[in-house]
Amino acid sequence: MPEAFAIDISQLASLAPSQWPDELISRKHLIYSSPAALAFNSPGAEGFGVKRAALTLPGSVMLLFSPGCCGRNTSALGGPDSRYGKRTFYLLLDETDIVTGRYQTKIVDACEEIAHSVSPTPQVIVLLSTCVDALLATDMERLVRLSEARTHIPCLSATMYALTREGHIPPMVGVRKSLYSLLRKAPKDPTRVNILGYFTPLASSCELYSLLHNAGYRHLQELSRMQDMDEYQNLARANFNLVLNPESRLAAQFFEQKLTIPSIELSPSFELAKIQKQYAILSQLLPEPLDDRPFFEEAQAQCAEHAKVLSHLTFAIGETSNAEPFGLALALLRMGARVAEIFAEPSEEKLALIKAIAAISPKTRLASNLSPSMLFYKPQHGEIDIAIGSDACFYHPASAHIPFCDDAKPFGYQGLLSLLRAIDQACGR
Amino acid sequence: MRGLLQHLAPFAPDSSGVVSALYELGGLIVIHDAGGCTGNYCGFDEPRWKEKPCALFSAGLRDMDAILGRDDRLVEKAQAAAALIKPHFLAIVGTPVPCVIATDFQGLTRLAEKKLGIPTLSFATTGTALYDTGLSQAYTEAFARFGKEPCEISKTRIGILGASPLDLGQTHARHLHANLQRAQNKDLEIISFGLDSGFEDLARVASCARHLVIAPSGLACAKLLEKRFGTPYSLDYPLSSGLLRLAKEAADYQRILIVHQQVLASTLRRQILEDAGKNTPEISIASFFQMTEELWQEGDRHLESEQDFSLLVEEGDYTCLLGDALLLRALSPKNRDRLHFLEIPHFAVSGTPMPLGLC
What confidence category does residue A75 fall into, taking pLDDT thresholds of 50, 70 and 90? low
Q: Per the domain annotation, does A406 fall within a domain? A: yes
Under a CB-based contact definition with an 8 Å cutoff, are residues A331 and A269 in contact? yes
A67·B128 Cβ contact <8 A: yes
Listed residues A146, A179, A212: the one ending a domain: A179
In a shared domain, residues A146 and A63: yes
B10·A72 Cβ contact <8 A: yes
Across residues B82-109, what is the average pLDDT?
Answer: 96
The helix/strand/coil state of B12 is coil
In a shared domain, residues A358 and A402: yes
Domains assigned to chain B:
14-145 (3.40.50.1980), 151-235 (3.40.50.1980), 241-358 (3.40.50.1980)
Return the amino acid letter for B10: P
Under a CB-based contact definition with an 8 Å cutoff, are residues B137 and B123 in contact? yes
Q: Per the domain annotation, does A274 fall within a domain? A: no
Does residue B49 belong to the interface with chain A, where contact is any CB pair within 8 Å?
A: yes
Q: Per the domain annotation, does A358 fall within a domain? A: yes
Domain that holds residue A296: 7-27+292-426
pLDDT at B10: 94
A2·B33 Cβ contact <8 A: no
A70·B44 Cβ contact <8 A: no
Does residue B326 belong to the interface with chain A, where contact is any CB pair within 8 Å?
A: yes
What confidence category does residue B149 fall into, taking pLDDT thresholds of 50, 70 and 90? confident
Does residue B63 belong to the interface with chain A, where contact is any CB pair within 8 Å?
A: yes
In a shared domain, residues A255 and A303: no
Q: Per the domain annotation, does A403 fall within a domain? A: yes
What confidence category does residue A138 fall into, taking pLDDT thresholds of 50, 70 and 90? very high
Residue A379: is the preceding peptide bond cis (ω within 30°)?
Answer: no
Using a CB-CB cut-off of 8 Å, the residues of chain B touching A114 are 6
Distance CA(A194)–CA(A223), nearest Å, equals 8
Return all residues near A160 (Cβ < 8 A) that are at least 6 apart: A49, A50, A51, A64, A66, A70, A128, A129, A130, A131, A171, B36
Under a CB-based contact definition with an 8 Å cutoff, are residues A403 and A389 in contact? yes
Report H helices in A217-324: 229-233, 249-259, 272-285, 293-311
pLDDT at A47: 61
CATH of the domain at A298: 3.40.50
Q: Where are the beta strands (DSSP E) in chain B?
A: 4-5, 28-31, 56-58, 90-93, 120-123, 154-161, 189-192, 208-213, 233-235, 255-259, 282-287, 301-302, 320-323, 340-343
pLDDT at A61: 95
pTM exceeding 0.80: yes
Q: Per the domain annotation, does A248 fall within a domain? A: yes
Q: pLDDT tens digits, residue range B23-59?
A: 999 999 999 999 889 988 988 899 999 899 999 999 9
B4·A166 Cβ contact <8 A: no
Q: Per the domain annotation, does A1 fall within a domain? A: no
Q: Chain A residue with minimal CA distance to B40?
A: A73
DSSP code per residue over B47-70: TTTTTS---EEE----HHHHHHT-
Q: A125: burial class by Cβ within 10 Å (0-12, 13-18, 19+)? A: buried
A30·B329 Cβ contact <8 A: no
CA A39 to chain centre: 10
**Torsion angle in degrees (nearest 10) through CA of B114, B119, B125, B129:** 170
- Report long-range pairs for A76-84 (Cβ below 8 Å, ≥24 apart): A76/A45, A76/B44, A76/B351, A77/A44, A77/A51, A77/A52, A78/B9, A80/B329, A84/A52, A84/A55
Q: Per the domain annotation, does A86 fall within a domain? A: yes
In a shared domain, residues A50 and A163: yes
**In Å, how far is A76's CA from the nearest CA of chain B?**
8
In a shared domain, residues A255 and A332: no
Does pLDDT of A78 surpass 60?
no
Q: Per the domain annotation, does A279 fall within a domain? A: no
In a shared domain, residues A233 and A333: no
Does residue B345 belong to the interface with chain A, where contact is any CB pair within 8 Å?
A: no
Under a CB-based contact definition with an 8 Å cutoff, are residues A292 and A281 in contact? no
Going by C-alpha positions, the residue among A365, A209, A132 that lies closest to residue B34 is: A132
**B58, B97, B99 ranked by CB distance to A31: nearest:** B58
**A2, A132, A165 ranked by CB distance to B35: nearest:** A165
- Using the 8-state DSSP alphabet, how is residue B42 labeled? I
Distance CA(A395)–CA(A149), nearest Å, equals 52
Q: pLDDT tens digits, residue range A140-197?
A: 999 999 999 999 999 999 998 888 877 888 999 999 999 999 999 999 999 999 999 9
In a shared domain, residues A206 and A254: yes
In a shared domain, residues A388 and A318: yes
CA A196 to chain centre: 11
**B11, B57, B351 ranked by CB distance to A33: nearest:** B57
Distance CA(B350)–CA(B45), nearest Å, equals 10
Distance CA(B326)–CA(B322), nearest Å, equals 12
**In Å, how far is A163's CA from the nearest CA of chain B?**
4
In a shared domain, residues A399 and A305: yes
Count up the domains in chain A and report the number. Answer: 3
Q: How many CA atoms lie within 13 A of B54 on its CB side?
A: 34
Under a CB-based contact definition with an 8 Å cutoff, are residues A344 and A366 in contact? yes
Q: pLDDT tens digits, residue range A330-373?
A: 999 999 999 999 999 999 999 999 999 999 999 999 999 999 99
In a shared domain, residues A50 and A117: yes
A29·B81 Cβ contact <8 A: yes
Q: Chain A residue with minimal CA distance to B56?
A: A33
CA A193 to chain centre: 20
CATH of the domain at A217: 3.40.50.1980
In a shared domain, residues A257 and A358: no
Return the amino acid letter for A334: R
What confidence category does residue A36 fall into, taking pLDDT thresholds of 50, 70 and 90? confident
pLDDT at B302: 98
Mean pLDDT across chain B:
95
When scoring A33, A61, A135 by the number of chain B Cβ atoms within 10 A, the one with the most, hence best to mutate, is A33
Q: pLDDT tens digits, residue range B213-228?
A: 999 999 999 999 999 9
Under a CB-based contact definition with an 8 Å cutoff, are residues A426 and A389 in contact? no
pLDDT at A130: 93
Listed residues A246, A265, A284: the one ending a domain: A265
A42·B60 Cβ contact <8 A: no
In a shared domain, residues A116 and A200: no
**B45, B58, B100 ranked by CB distance to A41: nearest:** B58
Sheet strands side by side (includes B233-235): B189-192, B154-161, B208-213, B233-235
Does residue B336 belong to the interface with chain A, where contact is any CB pair within 8 Å?
A: no
Listed residues A179, A211, A237: the one ending a domain: A179
B3·A106 Cβ contact <8 A: yes
